[in-house]
Structure 1
Amino acid sequence: MFVFYTYLVFFAPFELRSKVIDLTVYVIVTLVLVSVAYVGYIFVKTPTLKPEEIYEILSKRRRGEA
């Protein structure tokens, strides 16, 4: 695959080379945007702790229970 891609990027006719580079950039940008959207989705869906739960966790740590 590496040899084939190298040929397409460096030694193929100009029109094909241009399309291969365009497709590569499109795929990379799409992967980055999907990754950012997924991380954002995970942040939104992660449940938050109530202040009472945080106080309970901290008091257990101070007492050495957890």
Structure 2
Amino acid sequence: MAKPTYHFVITLHYRQEGAMGSLTRTLDGVFEPQRGDTRETSFKRILTWATEQLHARDQAVLFFALERNDL
């Protein structure tokens, strides 16, 4: 049986290095949890990934959803 995957959506409000003001951006993707992951550790891993992708600092999470990817 295949390991389940999860679809996530995360919206961050943040500042970016070298940019004036703040930005809001939504990212989504498919997440495959590792053995022993919880909802909390999954959220933290996804937040770290999103922060790195956006080169964000001083970020605030406006929205987060994590649901099984299969229908």
Larger of the two Rg values belongs to structure: 1
Q: Fold-level match, TM-score > 0.5?
A: no
Give the number of the structure whose residues are more often strand, by fraction: 2
Give the number of the structure whose residues are more often helix, by fraction: 1
Which structure has more RCO (C-alpha within 8 Å, separation ≥ 6)?
A: 2
**TM-score (norm: length of structure 1):** 0.30
